[in-house]
Structure 1
Amino acid sequence: MSLDAAAKTVRESVGPRLFLTNFVPTFAMVAMIAILIWAGAPAKAPQFTNAWKTAATLGIGQVIIAVVLISVLVLVLQPLQLPMMRLLEGYWPRWTARPGVWWQNRKRDRLAKQAKPDGDVQQAGRAGSRLRRRFPRGEMLPTALGNVLAAAESRAGHEYGYDAVVAWPRLYPVLDEQTRAVVDDRRNTLDGLVRISVSAFVTAAVSGGLLYRASWWLLIPVGLLVLSRVSYLAAVHAAGEYGESLKVAFDLNRFALLARLHLELPADQRAERKLAEDLSLMWRQGPGEFTYHHPEQADD
């Protein structure tokens, strides 16, 4: 089996989403640590010629075994994707979150002042758009990523009366193909950047321990920390794009959801809001009372 065939087998077995968002960052992390160890760290100053010699002696069977083991590691770590996301969102113990919440509140207040139409109306409009996109209407979180995602949850479907948190699991299965492709692509981008950020940080910590006596080689963990930070900032931007796709998904597919629920389509926005609020209340708290609408079946 060739390396290309092995890589194809991995892609097909783990799936394209898992391959791009989890396998690639995990493989890069393991490869970096392995290279440093093959180069001689931490016992002596690393020599990458030693790492190259070791890598050159690996047979195709050993490479395939390594790829399979990394694939198993990816599957084991997959359930940690949500905890990683929650960690970067800022769902921490309250006392640890206070400094971050204070800082995020300062940023929101500064942007809110810019959004007041006292001077340049266009500048105020842009500031208002950033304010709605970056910060939720309710309780603040201590990180930029958490607030952007919370803002997305509070905005998506809000003008129609929906609570996105409880409505989204019902809406997603009825999305049209084009909308779902956009939502999935932006979600994969977000998850991939989060995994890269976390993987780069972990690799920086491990490589720092391996290279603590290697003087200028410590630039490697420093570079990994920079990569982790840049990936996090990119994830914040990707979260904003993902939030926009959620909003569009409600705009274009909310009536398809009502049709699948066998509910009569509302005649105006007021009726739509009332129906959406009642549905959201039922999904959050329990049974509701609705009149169903069953389209007449065509005669055989």
Structure 2
Amino acid sequence: MALTDLYDRASSLLERRFLKNAFLPVAVFPVILSWPILIQSGRLDRLAAWWESLSTAGRIVLGLAYFVVTWFFAAIVASQWRNIIRLFEGYPIERTPLGQRSADWHRRRRTEATQWQHYLEYPDEDEVLPTRLGNILRTAERYPFARYNADTIVIWPRLYHLLPESVQRDVEDRRATLEFLLVTCLFWAAFGVADFIILSVTGAAPWVACLCLLVGAVGATLAYESSLSAAMEYGERIKAGFELHRGQLLAALGLKTPGSLEEEKRMWRAFDKFVRQARPADMEQYRRTSAPPTGGA
């Protein structure tokens, strides 16, 4: 594939991901947030009348200003996708009393889980995180190490470039879906809390404030529950990508085809030491003595 084709595909993917996961939620959020407040205060009609009084040029200027501001804040949200995922994984509270109690609860559930649930949702006992989402993603991240002694942090950035285009696209689509659901969950939670506080402070009817809080809680819960399935699907793509294409990575690294599973584990351990500790001696015994066949291993 030509470099221009790769650039065009990457650009279109990033553009779709940005528009869906950042720009759209940021653009819609102020409208949803302000709607109950305007209705309750009786200012919605005045706002509509003010908008009708504007000239066409004024509406265009305001529309462009809203677009620019929305794009700016959407760019901030897009830059924080990884931190948003880590937030829902439970890393910020991992070492707090709340996080430890939550992790202990998941450890107790882990002892009652089926073998299939262990495969999908639970890492080793000493690696359990405070949230279900965190455990699902950590299980996928630890899969290559648990099966082959291959560290995902070291292996995945190198393996990704060898994956077929369709597999790369599938992985990115699954991750984009996960990001969208988590951003949606965060915004629904913000809507519920912010409207509850604003309506309570401004003297609105208590049932209206509580209704907004309830709607926000339900929306956030539904989005989070949906993100769990999306995380499992994303994790499965990572596991399958490594399982099916790790031989290509070994060939691209100039290493021989392992003769057994135990030898492959030793090879990945040696490569990890080579990357992390600059110890090439451990890899010498696994170097390929002849050129690999066309098409990789």
Same fold judged by TM-score > 0.5? yes
Q: 2 CA distance for matches of 1:55 and 1:12? A: 35
Indicate conservation of the 8 Å contact 1:100/1:143, yes or no: yes
Q: Which amino acid aligns with 1:201?
A: A
Q: 2 CA distance for matches of 1:171 and 1:139? A: 24
> What's 1:184 paired with?
172
Indicate conservation of the 8 Å contact 2:171/2:238, yes or no: yes
In structure 2, do the counterparts of structure 1 residues 201 and 185 end up closer, same or farther at CA, with 3 Å as the change threshold? same
Indicate conservation of the 8 Å contact 2:191/2:216, yes or no: yes
Q: 2 CA distance for matches of 1:274 and 1:13? A: 37
> What's 1:107 paired with?
109
Q: 2 CA distance for matches of 1:243 and 1:47? A: 47
> What's 1:193 paired with?
181
Q: 1 CA distance for matches of 2:223 and 2:131? A: 14
- For the pair 1:295 / 2:297, whether they are aligned, the reply is no
Q: 1 CA distance for matches of 2:245 and 2:14? A: 30
Task: Report deviation, 1:67.
Answer: 1.3
In structure 2, do the counterparts of structure 1 residues 46 and 252 end up closer, same or farther at CA, with 3 Å as the change threshold? farther
- For the pair 1:31 / 2:31, whether they are aligned, the reply is yes
**The residue matched to 1:174 in structure 2 has which SS?**
coil
Indicate conservation of the 8 Å contact 2:251/2:292, yes or no: no
Indicate conservation of the 8 Å contact 2:159/2:249, yes or no: yes
| Gap regions ≥5 residues in structure 1 | 1-10, 112-126
Indicate conservation of the 8 Å contact 1:205/1:221, yes or no: yes
Indicate conservation of the 8 Å contact 2:162/2:248, yes or no: yes
- For the pair 1:214 / 2:204, whether they are aligned, the reply is yes
Percentage identity across aligned positions? 25
- For the pair 1:227 / 2:219, whether they are aligned, the reply is yes
TM-score by length of 2: 0.80
> What's 1:131 paired with?
118
Task: Report deviation, 1:131.
Answer: 2.1
**Per-residue displacement from partner, 1:87-107 (whole Å, max 9, x unpaired)?**
211112332312211211221
**Per-residue displacement from partner, 1:6-32 (whole Å, max 9, x unpaired)?**
xxxxx9797111111112222221222
**Per-residue displacement from partner, 1:188-238 (whole Å, max 9, x unpaired)?**
111111111111111222211222233233212320121111111111221
> What's 2:82 paired with?
82
Q: Which amino acid aligns with 1:89?
A: E
Q: 2 CA distance for matches of 1:21 and 1:102? A: 33
Q: 2 CA distance for matches of 1:88 and 1:240? A: 15
The count of corresponding residues between Structure 1 and Structure 2 is 269
Q: Hey, which of these two has a bigger chunk of helix by percent?
A: 2
> What's 1:159 paired with?
147
The within-5 A match list for 1:53-72 is 53=49, 59-72=59-72
Q: 2 CA distance for matches of 1:13 and 1:236? A: 23
**Per-residue displacement from partner, 1:251-288 (whole Å, max 9, x unpaired)?**
22112212222222223333222212221233344333
- For the pair 1:98 / 2:100, whether they are aligned, the reply is yes
Indicate conservation of the 8 Å contact 1:36/1:210, yes or no: no
Worse-matched range after superposition: 193-202 or 81-90: 81-90
TM-score by length of 1: 0.80
Indicate conservation of the 8 Å contact 2:193/2:216, yes or no: no
Q: 2 CA distance for matches of 1:55 and 1:33? A: 19
Task: Report deviation, 1:53.
Answer: 4.2
Q: Which amino acid aligns with 1:136?
A: P
- For the pair 1:279 / 2:271, whether they are aligned, the reply is yes
In structure 2, do the counterparts of structure 1 residues 296 and 173 end up closer, same or farther at CA, with 3 Å as the change threshold? closer
In structure 2, do the counterparts of structure 1 residues 297 and 134 end up closer, same or farther at CA, with 3 Å as the change threshold? closer
**The residue matched to 2:128 in structure 1 has which SS?**
coil
Q: 1 CA distance for matches of 2:14 and 2:257? A: 41
Indicate conservation of the 8 Å contact 2:29/2:187, yes or no: yes
